[in-house]
Each structure stands twice: as structure tokens, then as C-alpha cells.
A and B are shown apart, each in its own frame.
Chain A
Amino acid sequence: MGRLFDFMLPENMSPLTADYTDGLFHFINEASTIVLVGITIALIYFAIRYRRKSSDDKTPVITHNNKLEITWSVIPLFITLIIFSWGYKGWLNLKAVPDDAYEIHVTGFKWNWAVSYENGAQTLNEIHVPQGTPVKLVMKSRDVLHSFFVPDYRVKQDVLPNRYTYVWFQAEEVGESQVFCTEYCGTSHSNMLAKVIVHEPDDFKNWLEMNGGAGGSGDPVEAGKELVNLNGCQACHSVDGTPGIGPSFKGIWGKEESLADGSTVTVDENYVRESILNPGAKIVAGHDNVMTPYEGILSDEDITNIIEYLKTIE
């Protein structure tokens, strides 16, 4: 412990994925510091020792020195090859998911992370995982590129709309770790945050059972509210009237909205349905066309439930 550059790295919460990276990070930093100090001392020493005394100073003709050239080509080559192999080994480790890893599905979309578990439990922007167990996240995007990054675990992976990607880690301590989106994705890119929440294995089981089968209460208003939360609608549409990227849901039902093209529309069932499935069709004045279409993501029943919920927000 106690390496020179320890202050630069966040706490290591997943040694199985982070140890290789941290070791190499320290090695490169320390080796670089030695060479940089050497270069700097040489620069300062030469500048003082050989400062110009008069304009008639005579300098020797030293055109080249093959031994030196070979030395400072081969030694760095050697060191960089070590770094390459070390980095390669650590990277293979990041790619090789343990066979017994626990799988969780993660979907990135503007600007939230939707998470679903084996028993149908769903969470938004919270990834609940068991402690001391390898966890594999299978990820995809619903719209543009995103990137899933947990500094505490030293893992990062772009999330793409046209293929699945994955990361794995094994959190050793109960607690929370920050998740960032690191691929620029528009207005609220910097708010696309989440937490990994690590439970003791038994607690995780309990949590999973309690949350299984979300939205099963049977009450359309409650189900609609759940859907609005799980799909991250509130990232852009507030429920308390605060202006946001999209129009607030507060008092929206039956409202007359002016559209960007100058016409007006009344917020009714058909308008809400159209705005969910094809958001670009009728844009309310003062807002941009940035919403992801939910065609194929929300069922007709889901939309009906959301409409029932919207009616209640006054």
C-alpha cells in the first residue's frame, strides 16, 4: 500500500476487475515520473550550465551518436512492450466473465438506466446486486450510444442500439457505487446517473422477492405511475409543474397546447398515445424534438394505464 499516485484513483470496490488496472496505472505513473524528472533536470541543468556567455561562444560539432540512439529507442520499446502485455492481460480478465456470474439486464436510453432482474423485478437508475458474487450486466440501448461506467470497479462499456454488450464485476463490500454515462448523448447526458447498490446475499434475495413482478397491483392509476417512474419519463416531464425538457405532466389532461408549427391541440387519449409512440409528430412550442419513440416498448395496455395516471395529476 501507499503508492505515490494513490490519490488519483477512487476506492477499489471490485478487486477482481480493478487490481490489474490499478497495478498498471501505478507502474506507468511511477516510470513516467522518473523519466520526466530526468528530462526536466537535464533541461534545467543544461540551461544553467551552458547558458550563453558571449555571442562568440564556440560550440562543438556533435552530429549524432548511434549507441545513444539505439539505447533510447530500445529501452523504451522494451518498457512499452511490458506495458502492452500487462494491459492486455488485464483486459482479457475484464472480458472473461466467470461462468457462474449472476445476470442482470440493463437498458440505456435518454437519460436513464432501466434495469430488469431474473424474476421480472424492475428498477430505474438503481442496480441492486449481491455482495461477493460475480455479476454480469447485459446491456443495450434504446436510442443513441451510451456508455456504462463504474469508476469504483474500473469497468466501462459502450451501450449500443444494435447489439448487446456486457460488463462484469464483483462488489466485495455492502454499499453504493456511482454509475456514469460516459458517451455523450444530448441535453441531459450529465444527469444520466445511476447507483450500484450492493446487498448482503440474503438481503438481496429478500429485496428481489419483494420487488418481483412490478406493476401488478391491478389499479390502472398505480400501474401507470409505476410505468412513468420505470421508464424515466420524469427526467424530462415533471409532475409538479417545474419546466423541463418536455412539457410538465401537472394539469396536462384536457389542456389546449400550442404546437411548434403554430396550430393547437387538446391533450386527450389520442394525442398522448401519438406522443408516446411517435413523439416528433406534434411538438409543443418551446420544446425540442428529442424524445425516444416508445413504439414496441410500451404495450397498448401500458399506454392506457399511463393515460389513467396522467388524468390524476392536477
Chain B
Amino acid sequence: MEAVKTSEKTTLQVKRFKPSENPTTNFFTEERGLKAWLTTVDHKKIGLMYLGAVAFFFALAGFLAIALRTELWTPAKTFIEADTYNKLFTLHGAMMVFFVLVPSIPAALGNFILPMQLGAKDVAFPRLNLASFYIYLIGAVFTFIALFMGGFDTGWTFYTPYSSDGDSATVIWVTLGVFILGFSSILTSTNFMTTIHKLRAPGITWDKLPLNIWALYATSIIQILATPVLAITILLLSLENIMDIGIFDPAKGGDPVLYQHFFWFYSHPAVYIMIVPGFGIISEVITTFSKKTIFGYWAIALSSLAIAFIGFLVWGHHMFTSGQSPVATTIFSFLTFLVGIPTGIKIFNWVATLYKGSIDMKTPMLYVFIFLFLFSIGGFTGIMLGALSVNIHLHDTYYVVAHFHYVMMGGTLMALLAGLHYWWPKMTGKMYNETLGKVAATLIFIGFNMTFLPQFVMGAQGMPRRYYNYIDQFTPFHQTSTVGSYVLGVAFLIILYYLVKSLMSDEKAPANPWESRGLEWQSTSPPDLHNFDHTPVVINKPYDYHRPMEEFQLGLAVEHNGHGEAHDVDVKETEQENS
């Protein structure tokens, strides 16, 4: 067979092959022992280590949330002091944002899945990938040092001049932790972008790219462009604290509103760093469990990029009451509405995908449905907060707290849970208990709404956020919310229980239990150390669910491995089939 070179495209002759159902080795068995794990450059092991770290921080920050909600059971002191409360909510916010939400989907699930969806052996820079993980851990160590030095009570936003007043030593440690953490994000993103550009298997043209990859690509752009601004801000904050240079603190000649601009210039795009990877997971899961081609592939792919770009221009909507210029306030409000449109487009396309599908309500799909409902509420209340006059009333109340929990927990975390259950058999080779999975998902839905719906009401009635004491009229709302948080706690314990139990069990999961057409599912479960036996040639589109499962085999280049050719290849099959 001969590769025929035309003026534009290369035609690659391939034959089909199917990975073995019963492989003798996988990435767990090929490199064993603690040292092999700690020094591994395998993207799958690094992804799992991230997953473990993220789960640890989530459990810790979640536990803090339960403690905070318990304290709010009564209007005055319930069981902790005001200073302790202030430190705990700061820590809850900082850990959830910097140690859980930002790395969760890209660094944990993304690390594992991205190279496999591209048919690559690994990410482009495997050693850099391991370095990112250790930088992440070093950042965490700095935060714990700050904790042992007495903690910090500035809120995760570190607003000046409060954060530069009094005992600022702990603030310096924790912000340096965040500074270091930023490099982990930047390196992971650089790695992902390079991998997407350079390591796509032959046959994966840009229009065959899974939407999960488009989402991670958009996320990487934001991370690379926004994170350095956070680093600069933190550096300036430290300079001010250590060397007494007036930048943000008016007592030293600085301007506190400038800090807010710098901070939100990163932290607003960071919201999209947290949610856009979730969009990717939703597209993968919703097609698999409705067995249907995605509706509006380009609308979904390009809206991720649109969000990435417009998302850079709306940071000032966190500052409508701050005293910033009225002209800026007007423009930021206007742009905020524009960024809502691509998000709405995504929701409508996902719902349309379900039309005439073959819907199987397994646990991952249940989470997608929960996501669509909760995230829609998060979106609508975002529109509410973008409206100038209404924002003045709602800013810094529990309405805002409820809104961002609907987006971050109802959005990102539900997507993460969908992805975790969806890829669990791929990552571990084990199957979780489906019944317990659905029970936990239902409890999460109930507990979540019970926790955060009352917060919309009390926020609109005036309950300010970050309040240790509150006036009596808010008691029923706070108590409902607290009970809801306990329900959530129980649901997460159930998830922990059945996932750990599945790891202990001897039962093996099938290679592709969902009959997904995704490339990552065409390998063995758990995958081989190098993901695929051969460099695969991708014949089908990722969401061709109308074609029978048997057709979803990988191609194998007959003459050569396809590398060294342009990615623009026409695939032509040989007659002989190998199954």
C-alpha cells in the first residue's frame, strides 16, 4: 500500500485493529512502588495524584464549610469565636478556589484524559507535567505554614488595606503560596496547548477534536494569560507589606481600588478557568448517554473560546459599589451581559442534543441533568447581578454567595462528579455501585438546593456575607441552609464509600462499559502505560453515535506510523480487517 501525496492532503492507508479486552499489563502494574509513583512522568499517574490531592483539599475545605454552617445555626456564638470563624471562611474560600476548583478538572481529569483523547502517548512535556504537580504541593505547603503561624482572616480576596494591616506576616506566606501555585497552572496549560497542537494522532483534524479538548484548550489560553497578573498583584502586595512601598494602602500613599482591579483582572477569568473545563465534560457525557451526535459542535466549541476572550473584559462587575469610575461601571455591566450569551448557547445546544436520543439515565448522566438545572439558575442569577441598579442592592450579600455556589458547585463540581463517574472505570478498571451512585446524586441535588436556595432569599432581604453574627429575622433561612449542608456532607461520604469499595473489589470493569465512541474508550481499562499499542489513526468523528459500535476500531497505518505527515490526512482503509 502506498501513501499517495496530493497537493494538499496526504492519504494514509490504514487497517483496523481492536485493543485486547484482557490485557496482561496496565499502567498500574508496569511501574510499581512508591518511588515509581513519586517520580513518574506518566500523565495518568500524575492525573491520579492530582485527583488524590484535590480530593484531600476538597474534604478539608468541605469540612470547614460544615463547621461554618454549624456556627451559623444561632444568630450569636454557637461554638466558635468570631476570629476563628473569620479564619475558617477565609480558608474555606481560598482552598476551594486555589486548591480544588482551579486544578480539579484540568489537572486531575484533564491530565488523565487529554492525551488519550488525542491518541498520544503522553503530554508534550512529561517532566514539566510532574514539576507542575510538585509546584502545586509546594504552594500548598506555604498555605499550611501560614496556618500554623496563626492563620489569616482576610477573606480569599485579600482586599487591601485590611490585608496589609496588623499581622501581615501570615498573609505574605499564603499569598506566596498562591503565587507559586500559579506557576503550576501556567505550566500545565502550556503543556496542554502544546500537546493539542503537536501530538494529535493522525486523522484528528480540528473538526474531529472532542469538545472536551476544545474546552481544555480555551481554559489553557485563559490560564496562561491571566495567571501572571495574579502573580504580579501578589508580588506588589508583598512589596508593600515587606518594604513599605505605598501601592494599595492609602496610609502609605496607595489606592485600595487599584488592588481590586488587579485582583479581579485575574480572578474573574479564573471563574472561567474553573467552569469551562466542566463544559467539556458535559459534552462528552451527554452524547455518550444519549447515544447521539452532539448538536451544534462548532457552536459549543467556539462559544468556549468566546467566553475565554470576553471573560477578560468583565472584571469590573465585581466592583460596582467600590467607587470605581462610573464610565467603567457602565461598560463592565454591558460586557457582562455579552459573556452570558455564549453560555446560554451551550445550554440550549446540550438540551437539543437530547432530542430523539437514546437516553440512559446512568449516574454520570444524572449529574449532567443536575448540572443543567443548577447551572441555569447560576446563570440567571448572574444576569441579575450584572444589572447595575439591582447589583447595588445585592452586592456582598448572601445572594452573591448563593449565586457563585450555584455556578461553582452546581456547575463545576457537578461536572467534575459526572466526569469522575464516567471515567472511573477507565481510570481504575473498576466499576462503582450504580444504585449507590444514583442515591448519592439525588441526595446532593436535594442537599444543595436546601443549602443555597434560602441564601438567595435572605441575601435579597439584606443578609450580608462574611457575617459571624446576624439579626434574628434570618434565623430560619440559616437553619434550613445548615441542615442542607449536612445532607450534602452525607452524600459525599456515600460517594467516598462506594468509590473506595469499588477499588477494593476484584471485579473488573469492561474496557468500554458505556459503548462510548470517544477515542479514550478504545484503549484497554485501565490503559496500558503508553495508552495504545500502536499510534492509532483516527477514522471516525468523536460523536458518530449513529454508526454501529463495531465500526469504532482504531486505524493502524500500514506503511508507516503516520507521523512526519501533516495532520491533514485522508484516511483510506485497506480491505483486510484485523479484529
Contact = CB atoms under 8 A, between A and B. Distances in A.
B461 interface: yes
A25 B394 CA distance: 10
Interface in A124-169: 143-145, 147, 149, 151-152, 154-158, 160-163, 165
Given A80-B341, A144-B161, A156-B321, A52 B461 contact: no
B449 to A, nearest CB: 13
B383 A93 contact: no
Given A47-B359, A182-B395, A144 B162 contact: yes
A50 B461 contact: no
A217 interface: no
A187 B159 CA distance: 15
B356 A77 contact: no
B320, B389, B395, B456 — most chain A CB neighbours (10 Å): B389
B255 interface: yes
Interface size classification for chain B: 35 or more
A182 B396 CA distance: 6
Contacts of B435: none
A151 B390 contact: no
A81 B386 CA distance: 11
Interface in B353-395: 354-361, 369, 372-373, 376-377, 380-381, 383-384, 386-393, 395
A91 B349 CA distance: 34
A149 B380 CA distance: 24
A163 B290 contact: no
A81 B348 contact: no
B167 interface: yes
B161, B464, B465, B466 — most chain A CB neighbours (10 Å): B464
Given A80-B383, A158-B323, A151 B86 contact: no
Contact of A145 (B162, B297, B373): B162
B515 interface: yes
Nearest to A184: B466
B464 A59 contact: no
Nearest to A42: B351
Contact of A187 (B86, B340, B348, B380): B86
A28 B298 contact: no
B489 interface: no
Given A77-B341, A160-B256, A290-B166, A62 B355 contact: yes
Nearest to B546: A61
A163 B324 CA distance: 11
A91 B369 contact: no
B383 A64 contact: no
A185 B165 CA distance: 11
A145 B164 CA distance: 12
Contacts of B457: 7-8
Contact of B390 (A28, A59, A143, A190): A28
Interface in B9-30: none
A39 B359 contact: no
A51 B359 contact: yes
Interface in B401-435: none
Interface size classification for chain A: 35 or more
B250 interface: yes
Contacts of B348: 68, 72
Given A24-B390, A161-B250, A43 B369 contact: yes
Contacts of A151: 393, 461-462
Given A59-B546, A181-B464, A46 B354 contact: yes
Contacts of A118: none
A63 B355 contact: no
Given A9-B460, A60-B356, A160-B256, A190 B393 contact: no
Nearest to B467: A190
Contacts of A89: 389
A206 interface: no
A68 B330 contact: no
A183 B358 CA distance: 50
Contact of A64 (B257, B295, B333): B295
Interface in B428-475: 456-457, 460-462, 464-471
A94 B462 CA distance: 18
B322 interface: yes
B251 interface: yes
Contact of B380 (A28, A178, A185): A28
Nearest to B373: A40
B377, B386, B396 — most chain A CB neighbours (10 Å): B396
A87 interface: yes
Interface stretch (A29-37, A227-235, A262-270): A29-37
B359 A190 contact: no
Contact of A46 (B351, B383, B469, B470): B351
A152 B456 CA distance: 17
Interface of B: 82-83, 86, 153-155, 159, 161-162, 165-167, 250-251, 255-257, 290-293, 295-299, 320-323, 326, 329-330, 333-334, 337-338, 340-341, 344-345, 347-349, 351-352, 354-361, 369, 372-373, 376-377, 380-381, 383-384, 386-393, 395-397, 456-457, 460-462, 464-471, 515, 545-546
25 contacts: A10-B462, A24-B390, A28-B383, A35-B380, A43-B351, A43-B373, A50-B356, A52-B359, A57-B291, A64-B296, A65-B295, A73-B341, A80-B338, A83-B337, A84-B334, A86-B389, A87-B386, A144-B165, A149-B396, A156-B321, A160-B250, A161-B161, A163-B323, A182-B465, A184-B154
Interface of A: 7-10, 20-21, 24-25, 28-29, 32, 35-36, 39-40, 42-43, 46-47, 50-53, 55, 57-65, 68-69, 72-73, 76-77, 80-81, 83-84, 86-91, 93-95, 143-145, 147, 149, 151-152, 154-158, 160-163, 165, 178, 180-191, 193, 280, 288-290
Give the top 3 A-B pairs by smallest Cβ distance, nearest first.
Answer: A151-B462, A90-B389, A87-B387
